[in-house]
Amino acid sequence: MTSKKPTDKTVKSDHPMDVLLEQDSAIKVPRVGDLVEGTVISISKNEIYLDLAGITTGIIRGREIYDESTEFSNLKIGDKAHATVVGLDNENGYMELSLREAGHKKAWDNLEKIYKTGEIVDCKVIDANKGGLMIKLGNVIGFLPVSQLTIEHYPRIDGGDKNKILTHLKSFTNQMLKTKIIDVNEKDEKLIVSEKAAWDDKQKKVVSQFKVGDKIKGRVTGVVNFGAFVEFGDGLEGLVHISELAWQRIDDPRDIIKVGEQVEAEIIEIEETKISLSIKKLQKDPWIKVQERYKVNDKVRGKVLKVNPFGAFVELDHDIHGLVHISELSDKKINSPDAAIKVGENYDFTILTIEPENHRLGLSLKGPKKAKAEAKEESTEKSNKEEKSGENEESAKGGPALGGKKTRAKKTAPAEESVPVELAPAEATPVETAKE
């Protein structure tokens, strides 16, 4: 039996899809994954037939009929419907289609459109974790990070307790939030939305009514470790940083400001919709006239407010606070300020430096260094004068010829003895202060 050799001639197929592919290129033949539109020609419980523009007939069956949305639930004969191609032909020559995949693709296409237009949309919160909120937009599950919440909804939890943050976030479950899509990727099935971005868009017009330097009146809506939030205008909220609450040093904003309190502040910065406020700018700066109240080398009584590894902060009065460096706490070397002073206790200090422009005042618990230096300088000067006086006296008597060296030694001795006598009180002062 002789086998037939393959020829160079192309063997033509009579398969319907192959015939279609060989037809006029003007006819676009659907491929797997394409979204196609067809007319419903038959409906049963488990099957739907679509006429695809006379090209072929598509069939949707089984689970491919059911989509999460209700878009296809009320289909009737003659209706137009979109479906996704999942197979070019089945055993009966029909093109296999899916409403389920079509719905999924349409959902992502719609999200892409919303993203490009910047439209603000409502999304439903379905769950929460410590990083943010799980949301549902249409049929797609997405994520709203904590950082993208508005100031109103942001978790202001003391100490950053993660469990309390989670409890706060879960309270939004089943709520609808106005959001803006900031990232969408169908391939990675990633959808990120922002409540803050949507709020920013809404508030830009309101913010434009204000400028840096404006004075505002508002209500304290929140107090945190780094400052206080103040609501003013038409739903605007600004932050008063802890450094802008008062002229004096503050450890905890809650010590001087409370939620619900009415305050006046000045706008010091506007960055898009982020507003920074200052309360202290509307108060007189006590450091302007600090040198009228305090002088270098003054002895002052002060209360220790806080101790750090490098020293301690001291309250001289309500407005003026100073810093005593660890090197100025004791004549002896100490490893920690706690070895010399305690928080809440009052001590006598000496003012070393005053810098009004920098709002700084340096203190010492050891005593007035400058006074010591001046005392030593004065003593040395006195000694030199006495020595010179002795030399002149001996010179008048012919002293140099009779042994001037001995005379100078005799005159110098009292001056040298006078140095510790003059310095003794100044050196004794810090020792007595430390005991107090």
Strands 120-129 and 80-87 come out as unpaired
- The DSSP 8-state label assigned to residue 231 in this structure reads E
CB of 134 within 8 A of CB of 174?
Answer: no
Range scoring the smallest mean pLDDT among 88-92, 127-131, 257-261, 400-404: 400-404
3-state secondary structure of 233: coil
Other beta carbons within 10 Å of 406: 11
CATH architecture of residue range(s) 286-367 = Beta Barrel (2.40)
| Average pLDDT score over residue span 104-120 | 89
Range scoring the smallest mean pLDDT among 1-10, 247-256, 261-270: 1-10
Tokens standing for 116? 């490009």
Return the pLDDT at 300.
Answer: 94
Range scoring the smallest mean pLDDT among 65-74, 224-233, 373-382: 373-382
Q: What is the largest CA-CA distance in the chain?
A: 157
DSSP for 84-136, please give it. EEEES--TTSPEEEEHHHHHHHHHHHHHHHHHHHT-EEEEEEEEEETTEEEEE
pTM of the model: 0.44
Domain 33-105 = CATH 2.40.50.140: yes
Other beta carbons within 10 Å of 190: 12
DSSP for 186-212, please give it. TTTTEEEEEHHHHHHHHHHHHHTT--T
User: Tens digits of per-residue pLDDT, 192-233?
Assistant: 999 988 887 777 778 888 999 999 999 999 898 899 999 998
Residue 413 banded pLDDT, cuts 50, 70, 90: very low
Q: Is the dihedral of CA 14, 17, 19, 21 positive or negative?
A: negative
* Homologous superfamily of domain range 118-201: Nucleic acid-binding proteins (2.40.50.140)
* Homologous superfamily of domain range 209-282: Nucleic acid-binding proteins (2.40.50.140)
3-state secondary structure of 154: coil
Range scoring the smallest mean pLDDT among 8-22, 108-122, 389-403: 389-403
Residue with the two structure tokens 């099935």: 189
State the Cα torsion 357-371-345-251 to the nearest 10°.
20
3-state secondary structure of 344: coil
Enclosing H/E stretch for 370: helix 369-396
User: Would 118-201 and 209-282 be classified into the same CATH topology?
Assistant: yes
| Average pLDDT score over residue span 326-348 | 91
| Angle, CA of 318, 321 and 322, to the nearest 5° | 155
Provide the phi-psi class of 190: left if phi over 0, else alpha when psi is between -120 and 50, else beta. beta
Domain residue ranges in the chain: 33-105, 118-201, 209-282, 286-367, 370-435
Q: Which of 349, 358, 289, 281 has the alpha carbon at shortest distance from 315? A: 349
